[in-house]
Structure 1
């Protein structure tokens, strides 16, 4: 299993870090990790994709992510998470500084109304060109949307924590990051998407994120 990215050290630190989570909430598999595994080792815009698995555990997930970012100095970090009930790849716009868990995480922790980072800003925006990624993914024939909320479970915890790390200078200068929620697999319920389509969509989104610095620079409109 590709859950220890420290064994993969390409030259010159030209890395895209792609993370997924382990299964949670009674599921036997998590599509976010299956997608990351499928793209491990791919070369995108001169960078190699390193896949790593995060635990679905508050605080522990961020500790693991911080170690990965510090070790690999990725130019871009994209974290993936499962969102049952969504019918499309959801490009998250914002992470908020709150943990409010509806269910317990994989270690039985269930924080209610606690900050991700005490004293941190109320929110961080993704630094990825989500509108450009949206258009490219839709053009590839994969359902996609811009999402205004990453929830308040471990996925939002990781998105906010990632953006806080990058804002404070963890990793290489100019590094960017964001988060995408993915639907269930067909075996998990409805709505769902086939794994091959989700892999294709994330591959397209990564290419776009590497080639486009920002939606503002591209002159991206508000179509979504």
Structure 2
């Protein structure tokens, strides 16, 4: 099975994004599965077209999307994505929607379509920023997809300058490391079963 794993570029005033760092650290395989990777822009208008290009290029069997959330202290599988944009800060193109629908006549919410026996915690709220936007689109594709939020970890245990904007409640910091986060993503991918 070929699994496409995506992360996001830095956004706001920050120069790092934990999801991008994790994507860079992933090996080419997880168990018997091939891992291919790519980065998405933090843009309400460009993220989904960029994902489409990666899907065309790699032709994966499954899609795992990573994004950071400043209010998380653990990795969370996002069960739902909702049909709404409400940004506390502007995306990297300067767009800051407030209560806009992602797809005007689309369903109110969509459920993750990639099923796994993973023991990772499940979240019921992907926020309303670009992470939710891309998850909503991905959960409507024919390819099985799962969005995963990771804590906004920084090299050298530095504090994230942004990230809390993507979540409801921001906590001080996470006890996880990039190695621990990377291992959790690798384990998740290796547990996927074709079918």
1:111 matched to 2:83? The reply is: no
Q: What is the TM-score normalised by the length of structure 2?
A: 0.86
Structure 2 gaps, min length 5: 161-171
1:194 matched to 2:177? The reply is: yes
Q: How does 1:41-190 map to 2 (within 5 A)?
A: 41-45=28-32, 47-129=33-115, 132-134=117-119, 144-166=120-142, 175-185=143-153, 186-188=157-159, 190=172
Inter-partner Cα distance in structure 2 for 1:165 and 1:114: 21
Partner SS for 1:29: coil
Aligned match of 2:165: none
In the alignment, is the contact (CA less than 8 A) between 2:6 and 2:23 conserved in 1?
yes
Partner SS for 1:19: strand
Q: What is the TM-score normalised by the length of structure 1?
A: 0.75
- Larger RCO (alpha carbons 8 Å, 6+ apart): 2
Structure 1 gaps, min length 5: 1-13, 135-143, 167-174, 214-224
Aligned match of 2:193: 211
In the alignment, is the contact (CA less than 8 A) between 1:17 and 1:77 conserved in 2?
yes
Aligned match of 2:168: none
Inter-partner Cα distance in structure 1 for 2:179 and 2:2: 23
**Which of the two has greater helix per residue?**
1
Residue 152 of structure 1: how far off its partner (Å): 0.4
Residue 79 of structure 1: how far off its partner (Å): 0.4
Deviation sequence 1:10-50 (CA, Å, 0-9, x none): xxxx42100000111222211101111111522442x3111
Inter-partner Cα distance in structure 1 for 2:189 and 2:2: 12
Q: Which has the larger radius of gyration?
A: 1
Inter-partner Cα distance in structure 2 for 1:111 and 1:197: 34
Inter-partner Cα distance in structure 2 for 1:120 and 1:39: 34
Please give the root-mean-square deviation of Cα atoms over the aligned residues, in Å: 1.6
Residue 118 of structure 1: how far off its partner (Å): 2.1
Count of residue pairs the alignment pairs up: 180
Residue 94 of structure 1: how far off its partner (Å): 0.5
Inter-partner Cα distance in structure 1 for 2:90 and 2:71: 19
